[in-house]
Chain A
């Protein structure tokens, strides 16, 4: 039970893929122009993380360690392709909304990091839980960053909810009385927004025990990820 709790806490907070490991920046920065876009990518990424972690954990003992990384990439790419094809065929409405985001998930190295640090070492239940927690942690950051950039860039919040709910109008759209600054929606705005979120997190953890301040430093395997 403690192990599960630790896993969930790691995914959401202590080793959050976006805020602590700073992984998956390519989709993270590119997509978060609105909160709804962030949410859609977050949901798709979470689904993929759970599936890839489960499958890699299942086959972890048969993989030869020296070639494990290319094999993870192969497994992840194949599974993402399958998910893309099968949702297009059998969940067509959903694919209309999320389909654009699925190919971008292949570029997310947070998935490879999960495969390497968790799924290849832990049993299936822990790996799946870790995938779910890390995906949710990633999703929360995407929504927060999307909401910030949408507010600052367009002066709206939750624009595009109609697309998710298949409605003509956006039922929860909030309009602010100012138009916004275009820069927030363009790529530089993504970097500034993420910097603000990182700063907020660092402010929050500053008072915590020093052991928790640098959770990654405790795991030797995690050290290499930061550069990826």
Chain B
């Protein structure tokens, strides 16, 4: 009668040990890599800021004022979202860049870079990080297709609100062959970022002016 019990205990111990080992391994590498991953992404973010700006601004040395804001509904994440405000020599805003998240990507949230002129016209949208299916949804990357460029020059009223959707849903934006969820998620996230900007534009400019004043003092 002892034999089955002994083997049950042995099995449980074995499973427990392997599970603990696996948990330790994953936790360890998460802790070891977390800061480096965040630093890598930050570096890439700063490098790619210029890509969503008006071409005239791209050639200048930019010193964007960095803010963080939180709006789960419109910016797609509970985490603080980066906002960069670029001002001219007199402190007038020349461009705003938001870094919202499309929470409903196919495999994982998609992080976007959304560049706006001060009057709310899109100067560029790029995908910062995503986990969409290679060969289908990854056409949202500029290096794989020009799909993401269709947002250039659009604003919250152009196209009108009911046409801010992919063509499949009766909207004005092209979809992607073989990927339905991905374009839908991005169109919605860009539109939400525009709504956020409309609602909070003055607050952003005030905060940027205060932050800029604080650094020059």
Contacts and interface: CB of A to CB of B under 8 A. Distances in A.
Please determine whether chains A and B interact with each other in the same assembly: yes
B74 to A, nearest CB: 27
B14 A90 contact: no
Main secondary structure of the interface of B (DSSP, over half): helix
Contacts of B22: 74-75, 77-78
Given A34-B135, A63-B14, A89-B32, A78 B107 contact: no
B178 interface: yes
A88 B29 CA distance: 11
User: Contact size class for B?
Assistant: 20 to 34
Interface of B: 7, 10-11, 14-15, 17-19, 22-23, 25-26, 29-30, 32-34, 36-37, 40, 107, 131-136, 138, 143-144, 177-178
A100 B131 contact: yes
A103 interface: yes
Contacts of A89: 32-34, 36-37, 40
Given A66-B11, A88-B40, A37 B18 contact: no
Given A78-B22, A78-B25, A86-B29, A30 B133 contact: yes
Interface of A: 30-34, 37, 40-41, 59, 62-64, 66-67, 70-71, 74-75, 77-79, 81-82, 85-86, 88-90, 92, 100-101, 103, 160, 162-163, 182, 185-187
A174 to B, nearest CB: 18
Given A85-B30, A89-B37, A100 B14 contact: no
Contacts of A63: 14, 18
A186 B11 contact: no
